[in-house]
Every structure is written in C-alpha cells, then in structure tokens.
Amino acid sequence: MAATGHAEGSRHGTPRRTSAARAEAPAASSAAEPGRRRPSRAAPEVTPELEQLLLESGRMSPAWRGTFRAVPRAAFLPDIIWPFTGDGETSAPVDRRATPETWLRWAEENLPITVQHDDGASTGPGVYTSSSSTPSIVASMLRDLDARPGMSVLEVGTGTGWNAALLCERLGAQAVTTVEIDPALADRARGRLSEAGYRPAVVVGDGLDGHGPGALYDRIIATAGVRTVPMAWLAQCRPGGVIVAPWGTHYSPQDAIVRLVVAADGSCAAGRFTGPAEFMKVRSQRLAWPVHEEYVLDRPGTVSHSEADLGDVFDGGYGGTGMLLGLFVDDCTHTVHDGTAWLYGLGDRSWAAATAEGAGVRVHQSGPRRLWDEVEAAYRWWRDQGRPDVERFGLTVTAAGREVWLDGPGAVVNVR
Ligand SMILES: C[S@@+](CC[C@H](N)C(=O)[O-])C[C@H]1O[C@@H](n2cnc3c(N)ncnc32)[C@H](O)[C@@H]1O
C-alpha cells in the first residue's frame, strides 16, 4: 500500500512492509464499486444490501439488526474521510462539503474509512492511526461479544464513536464506557455521540489500563489490535465475562479476533479465534519497523535452496497465513518486496532473504538465528496439520504469559 503507508512500516529505507494495516479489513472484502450504488438518501442507515449480506453470512446477529438500522455510520464520520479502496495503492480524501453524495456512498460501503493520520500530526497522507472499521467486522465483533441489555461494556478505541453508539443503542448509554488515547478524537466522538442522543462515559486514556472506576464490566471489546492482552482487562472483567479483541504477533500485521472468557477466579482467560482481520495497533504495541540497512550489512551468512513454494509461505493477503506462522516464529517480522521475502529478527540482527528460484527458493540467512528455517518449519507443521484455519486455534492468557492451542486448550502448540 502505499503512499499512505503502513501503521507499522517505516517510511524510510527499503524494503518496508507493504501490506495494508487496514483496520479492520475482513478476510474477504465484499465491497462493490461505489459508483454503481443508488443515489443517497436523506437519512442514511446500514443499507438493505449490506444488512442482508451481514445476516446471511452470519456476521451480524439478528439481535443487532435493529440497532444497526437505528445508528448510521455516516453520522459519526468527519467531513473529510479516506475510504480504503483495497487496491493497495490509493486512499484519496473525500470531502463531504465538496461532494456530499460521493461522501455518503463511501460512508455506506462495507469498507474501513480512515479518519486520522500520524496520530493527528498531519492531515495525510501518512500512517493511518484512526478509522471507522469495516461494518461487517464491527457486526461480527459485536456478535462475538454477545452483549445483552443489563450488561456493562468497556470499549477500548473510541475512534469515531460509531461502535460506542451501537452499544449505547442496544444496552443504554449508562452501560457503556469507551476509552480513547487521542484527546482530539475522544472530543469529536463525544460530540457526535451527544448529537445522536447518547451520553456514555468517554474517557481519554490508555485503554490497555482499562478504566478502573467503571469495573467490573460484563464485556470488554478492543477495536485496536493488541500483541499482548493486558492483565488489567482480566482484572476488570467479571468472572465468566467476555473479552473480544484483535490479536496477533509482530511477524505480520494480520490479526485474528479472539474471544476470551474470563475464568471464575480471574486468573486466566481463554477462547478461540473467530476469524482473521487486520487492525491498526494500540499505540504502545506498534512495531518499530526494522531499518533494513542496519541488518543487511557485510555479514557472513549461508546460502541454501529450499523446495518450498514462496507464494504459499507468504500469502500476502488476508487469508491469515501470516498471522498463523507468526504464532510459531517469535520475535521476527517480515515483508515481501520485489519478489523477495525478507525476515528480520527483533531481538537480534538476524535476517534472511528468500527469492523464488526454479521450483523452489534460494535462501540467504545471516546472524545467530536461522529465520528462514524457523519460518519453513512453522509452515511445514501447519501444512502437515492440514492447513487449519485460524478459527481452529485459541489463546489462553495468564499473568505468566500466553499459550496458543489447536482445537482445545489441552493441545498447546506454542507457549510464550
Ligand atoms: C480502528 S479505530 C477504532 C474504531 C472505533 N471503535 C469506531 O467505532 O470508530 C482504533 C482507535 O484506537 C485508538 N487507540 C490506539 N491505541 C489506544 C490505546 N492504547 N487506548 C485507547 N485507544 C487507543 C486509536 O486512536 C483509534 O482511534
């Protein structure tokens, strides 16, 4: 992606990660060409087409149908938006004041819409730092959360306030606390929520600390990606309560939505991943992208050949392979640039480069770790297991660390 950059990627040096840190992008986008949509309406809502898609795919729980109808996303978007078109290269601004109908068509698309770059330090293009997530992901995360009237909810990542408004509509504003790290975004969201008639607690702060004064919550939902689930969330969630969050490792920007149930004694939380996604990360858990030149110096290394299929190992899409291999290759990140996959060790200066050659791959590895060997071993294990989807994996979080398991907590495949 492009000029607008990756939330984790350096904008200096080569290569850098080029896949899109797109909030919130679903595994397979169903977005249609916006120009072909019908004319705008005065009172926008989730369009009938989108509602049907969400219900039929199971992404939207029928219990939330009326809520989505009542709370239009457009009411929470600023005048200037950057719709994510998914073409990997462009994300042009659209100004409601100049082209109101185009603006509204984009607002109704099943796409993530960027609303802030560079933590507010620029007006873009830059690194995406806040967005309104893809409606189908919003719906499926609310389905996973299973918040019902009478329950209290903490949201981490207020952003535009749309998700908070949906929660207010369904549960009542008194049941909703939402934390946003960016004061300007929190202010804007508070204003829009108020205009729409909702007055939840909108708190400026680091959502990784939760919000103690409102605890215990029945449900906690994070709408920014985490690499570590903070114990504060477990402490502030009722036993038996549910935490839903995008989770992944630094190996890839890909996340998967995890649905954790807090144990009776609060000491751990465990649950399965419900599907792949890709979110911008919470501020303190963003990856500082490795400076290529600091790795690839004149260091001796080894050159070898592998029979692996480079395209299969690095799918580069939203299929979840990056997220899955990252479960097994610790302290490592990667990018694919000009047909070469680059791997960088995050704890040392190990690196590897793999380029398709004939029926296999030519591999250069350098430093204390053999990163390609680690990735290839993880890939072969996953392939030999029958390529299990991310939904077959799960996560257990305790104060001591985390475990990843396959098909059930008894079958731990990685401990960290
Ligand atoms: C994808 S947006 C959230 C979308 C939002 N739920 C909505 O409905 O528009 C992620 C948000 O998380 C915020 N964020 C990042 N790190 C955070 C943190 N540590 N605590 C709270 N918010 C954070 C970002 O500023 C950004 O606004």
358-383 residue pLDDT tens: 889 999 999 999 999 999 999 999 99
Question: Could you tell me the end-to-end alpha-carbon distance of the chain, in angstroms, rounded to an integer?
Answer: 31
What 3-state class would DSSP assign to 221?
A: strand
Q: What is the pLDDT of residue 319?
A: 66
- Split at pLDDT 50, 70, 90, the class of 8 is very low
**Ligand 1 centroid, distance to 183 Cα (angstroms):** 11
pLDDT above 50 for 30 = no
- Catalytic (active-site) positions: 131
**Atom of ligand 1 at shortest distance to CA of 179?**
21
**Atom of ligand 1 at shortest distance to CA of 185?**
27
**Ligand 1 centroid, distance to 280 Cα (angstroms):** 8
**34-284 belongs to CATH 3.40.50.300:** no
- What average pLDDT does the segment 38-51 reach? 57
Give the percent of the chain with pLDDT over 90. Answer: 74
**Atom of ligand 1 at shortest distance to CA of 189?**
9
- Split at pLDDT 50, 70, 90, the class of 392 is very high
Closest residue CA from atom 3 of ligand 1: 159
pLDDT digits (tens, 9 = 90+) for 329-340: 999 999 998 999
Q: Is the dihedral of CA 318, 320, 325, 330 positive or negative?
A: positive
> What is the length of the chain?
416
CATH code 3.40.50.150 region(s) in the chain: 34-284
pLDDT digits (tens, 9 = 90+) for 261-287: 999 999 999 999 999 999 999 999 999
**Ligand 1 centroid, distance to 186 Cα (angstroms):** 9
Q: What is the pLDDT of residue 300?
A: 75
Query: Cβ(379)–Cβ(313) under 8 Å?
Result: yes
Average pLDDT of the chain to the nearest whole number: 87
Query: Cβ(242)–Cβ(266) under 8 Å?
Result: no
Residue 358: which residues within 8 A CB-CB, separation 6 or more?
none
Cross-strand bridge partners of residue 132: 113
**Ligand 1 centroid, distance to 169 Cα (angstroms):** 20
pLDDT digits (tens, 9 = 90+) for 171-204: 999 999 999 999 999 999 999 999 999 999 999 9
pLDDT digits (tens, 9 = 90+) for 88-137: 555 789 999 999 999 999 999 999 999 999 999 988 788 899 999 999 99
Is this prediction's pTM over 0.85? yes
- What average pLDDT does the segment 154-172 reach? 98
* Binding-site residues, ligand 1, Cβ < 6 A: 23-24, 129-133, 156-157, 159-160, 162-163, 179-182, 185, 206-208, 223-224, 279-280, 282-283
- Indicate the top mutation candidate among 282, 284, 285 to test ligand 1's pocket, ranked by most ligand atoms within 8 A of CB: 282
Q: Is 98 left (phi over 0), alpha (psi -120 to 50) or beta?
A: alpha
The two structure tokens encoding residue 168: 């207010």
Query: Cβ(110)–Cβ(52) under 8 Å?
Result: no
Q: How would you classify the pairing of strands 401-406 and 201-204?
A: unpaired
Task: Please give the backbone phi and psi of residue 128, each rounded to the nearest 5 degrees, phi first.
Answer: -65, 125
CA distances from 261 to 258, 276, 387 (A): 10, 19, 26
The DSSP annotation for 90-153 comes to ----EETTT-HHHHHHHHTSSS-EEEEEGGGTBSSSS-EEEEEPPHHHHHHHHHHHT--TT--E
